[in-house]
Structure 1
């Protein structure tokens, strides 16, 4: 029997790499998407050796029309259908909104909202025709607090996932927004953020985030907030003034 295929964007590091690791261990064949072909191949070789699975690489810049089109074409290919889509690629802007160029903000919005929408639109018809599929949109607890345009874009992912899971879950396609807090990855280092203000207890491991996110998606949940402490914090934000939750969210900038 053919193994299910999972396509993961932003697959060379951080949560994307951990999704590849856990899905590979679960005997999914993989399609790894990122900009750096050399890093993709290194990751692919390791996964093939560790799990005996097929791993394809697809270098693409998901801020560009051509990059999104190439990945969308793979997702829509009926010859080798994709069973799991993980929309993970993204970045954050360190500066305040008024200090960024509009071009930077547009690219930021593209990678966090428009690109996941386009990739989901590409893979969904095949999943619905087969009556099964899993889509995971990596969001953030920033979606629930005033956290600049990063939080606003991530809030789109949460709202979209809630709608899509409600509409397509009964037809066999589970859609989940995975919303972690601060995670030990390369993400903050790449954006040049100062993380000294983040308390040690606020950090999560990528392994836990992905494990809980995959489990919640399999269970049909539209929103996954990994770890009990962050679930408690997010529940509390309903009763905390915006200025206080915004101050907490702006740590690590």
Structure 2
């Protein structure tokens, strides 16, 4: 998703984001349905994912989205999937991008729901919805774009996902860990091991993160740490870069700059100068 989406989802009173809770049958799979009014989406926008895979649909069926991956432009259509570690990927809209409908999935159950490999995002972090639902995505999109209101679109999406549910068993401890990380985004793998003591060993942690989430625990924690640092920088805080780095679990500002270059291809200073100039 455009990184501006994550600027808004943690602001409950923000009028650019509407969150609709999923029905009980979907709560183990879907974190929430969102309508994102992308009024500030213009020019090149950094694409990012916070570890929770999403399916995003543009407002108009005839719309489309282009992404730039290390200088190569790729068309991903009006409905796409996004997840994993997005590095130096930017989006360029075409057509009407006044709003997106976003389905945000719990990471531990997303892959099982669509019966896809957990490493699917390893080499391709953004792709067309048809690639993971080739048999029923076309019918879903027909129904979705025929729906005349947000409530009806939610119903269409819920019906589409409900038909995919089967008996999916995820380790309870993994769910606990994900919730713990959400509440404490500055943790390290060592902190997790210490917090859970004898209940957790590193081999189990590494194996189950890759099995159910598709990335390592270290990579998952990196996404959280970077996103929180990005929010602090974007908020025009009076704090120095070093203070923001330390507040968000980095050992110094050089490590934050290094991560910023990995995810955006630019230093924090250059990135925000370009965005504010735009």
TM-score normalised by length of structure 1: 0.29
Q: Point out the structure with the larger helix share.
A: 1
For the pair shown, the structure with the greater C-alpha radius of gyration is 2
